Structure 1
Amino acid sequence: MKLGDYGDRTQEFHHIKSKNMMSKNTNRPTVYDAVLGGQEKAPPGAVVLGGLEGVKRRLANPVVEQRIAALEEALKYGEAGLELVIWALDDKLWKVRQAAYSLLASRQEPIVQEILQEYGNKIDRYDAFVAMARAGGVSDIDTLMENLENDRNSATYKLVDFTLGLVDTSQGQDRIRHYLFNGTQLQRNYAALYFKRKGAKDILIEAVQQGCIDRVQAFSK
């Protein structure tokens, strides 16, 4: 589920940047100029492509800790890095969203504060998870299961367990079945709980036979 499109806001950054550059000698390097890694006499504050590209790659890393570390690194790259942190408010993992929000909360730029206010007014985690469960699409179930795996605490466990119980679409049920047979052990356990509550004994028997879960998980009361 999307929390919002910040495209218009980040375009304002580009507008401000372009205006500043036009007021200067075009032959003179500026802090917004991108340079190749290792190039000599790079202008102070210039974005080194290798570094910023490295941040972007880490932001796509499936390991949540790597993505959070990349957000902290991104702020070293001026407005280009700040824009990446703003876009992370829309990350599908709640931990990453929280990290982005925390990093932006200390920023004084009016546009950043306005974005944070809009973000805070839109939705909280409970509402987001409930909305995804009721939508019941493949990406919705993926997001719930990824948060279950990457945010291991009792509050997340209880919330995902509750919201999975709201899934009532055939597409959503098929995706939960996928996790029962192909997910991590934690994801399999919660998928098993879902089908146990639905009384889907045939699916649970198949999962036990394939060694995905044990009989206790499948049939205990």
Structure 2
Amino acid sequence: MFTDQIHQAAEPFWEKSFEHPFIHELQVGSLPKDVFRYYLIQDRYYLSEFGKLHELIANEVDDAHGKQFLLEGAQGLKDGEIAVREGFFEQLGITQDEIDRTPIAPTAYNYVNHMYAELYRGTPQQAIAGLLPCYWLYNQIGQHLVAKGSPVELYQRWIETYDSDDYTGSVDQMIALTNQEADQSDAELRNKMQTSFVRSSAYELAFWQMAMDKQNWQVSA
């Protein structure tokens, strides 16, 4: 399948994500709370745009089933994953004022812009491929970590979010949609879809490091 091919192309980035200190420390319980707090705020920005992209791509997709899935995905992000995040915000004392005052970090900004570019300067197919790593990588991380668990209840809840049956079902549908679009595309477009997928995978890896560094727009002395 096409998704097997692009997964293999992005494998070096995925392996580094599995091995990243953010993921390791989250699993063993040593990840500093301020790093996780920073990650959640930045991820909220990302997920907000991720949901908007679902709606925008749905408007460009001809297949009725694919369109419905993307629109449901957009609503699901509003009702589901963002709601889970807000539970984390409450536990960590993250306020709306703090969110409003915190600028989007360079890596998150660039990741979001990459996905918009795949849609507006590319094609809906490229944009779909660009969305897939967020679904698929998090699901694999959740499945990888859930057996070991984390001694920190907050981190364990984060892990379980991405190992749930509902989330895995959404991932399977997104993989199927990507394969369907690839099957209807020529070789040139499939290559562009692969590039989009690999670049998003690289940004997923960079996102972990962004959180560890609590990246900002300041120039280091």
Q: TM-score scaled by structure 2?
A: 0.30
| Rg comparison, structure with higher value | 1
Higher helix content, 1 or 2: 2
Using CA pairs under 8 Å that are at least 6 residues apart, name the structure with larger relative contact order, 1 or 2: 2
